[in-house]
Amino acid sequence: MDDPLERLGDWLAQARGAGLADAAAMCLATASASGSPSARLVSLKRLDRRGLVFTTALWGRKVAELRENPRVAATFYWQSLGRQARVEGRAEVAGRELAEELFAARPRSHQLQAHASRQGEEVENVEALRERLERLDAELGEGPVPCPEDWGAVRIVPDRVELWEEAEDRLHRRTLFEAVAGGWRRTLLAP
């Protein structure tokens, strides 16, 4: 069975292997219940048979939107490889256990930032944030940084994946995978 998530995994590994900066960055589009779209980059943290996982603040705009409208889309682009991957599907907030595992794997500075900076909230200035960070760092000392209650992992369960590969003759390869009962239907699209 030709599995698009396995193929996406191979492309990611090749992008990392080629030393591309932000190889795991994907542009994630969400939409409000009324259909108003918004998009931003997030970093893919895990890819397996169940889908694509990223981590984020659970109070932010993207999670508010995907809670009211779980349909999302995400796009990767690896310029020097001439490749784009598009994913569409349903997003769900994953379990606490996965959030804690992925939080523990973050560098300490990222962990502290997740506590000190309330993503998306208006701030007076950067100094106030820096003070908050330093205070927290001193309070925790050498101890571990706990995973914030409202920080988590989101899984995208795809039902449509398109792998686009540039060709010198402009006949770029667009391979579309659509989820069907028990597997994937693969077709080729005109570029």
Ligand X SMILES: Cc1cc2nc3c(=O)[nH]c(=O)nc-3n(C[C@H](O)[C@H](O)[C@H](O)COP(=O)(O)O)c2cc1C
What is the DSSP track for 84-103? EEEEEEEEEEPPHHHHHHHH
Q: How far apart are CA 30 and CA 65, in angstroms?
A: 6
Is 119 a binding residue for ligand X by CB under 6 A? The answer is yes
Q: Closest separation between CB of residue 156 and ligand X, Å?
A: 13
Stretch in the footprint of ligand X (CB under 6 A) among 37-45, 104-112, 122-130, 145-153: 37-45
Helix pair angle (108-116, 126-140), 10° resolution: 120
Q: Which one of 20, 29, 42, 179 is in contact with ligand X (CB under 6 A)?
A: 42
Q: Is 70 in the site for ligand X (CB under 6 A)?
A: no
Q: Does 129 bind ligand X (CB under 6 A)?
A: no
Establish if 120 lies at the interface with ligand X (CB under 6 A).
yes
- Under the criterion CB under 6 A, does residue 56 sit at the interface with ligand X? yes
Q: Is 139 exposed, middle or buried (0-12, 13-18, 19+ CB in 10 A)?
A: exposed
Asked if 27 and 156 touch (Cβ cutoff 8 Å), the reply is: no
Residues contacting residue 168 through CB under 8 Å, at least 6 positions apart: none
Nearer to ligand X, 2 or 48 (CB): 48
Q: How far is the CB of 24 from ligand X (least distance, A)?
A: 8
Of 87 and 184, nearer to ligand X (C-beta) is 87
Select from 4, 12, 51, 62 the one that contacts ligand X (CB under 6 A).
62
* Nearby residues of 14 by Cβ (< 8 Å), 6 or more positions away: 81
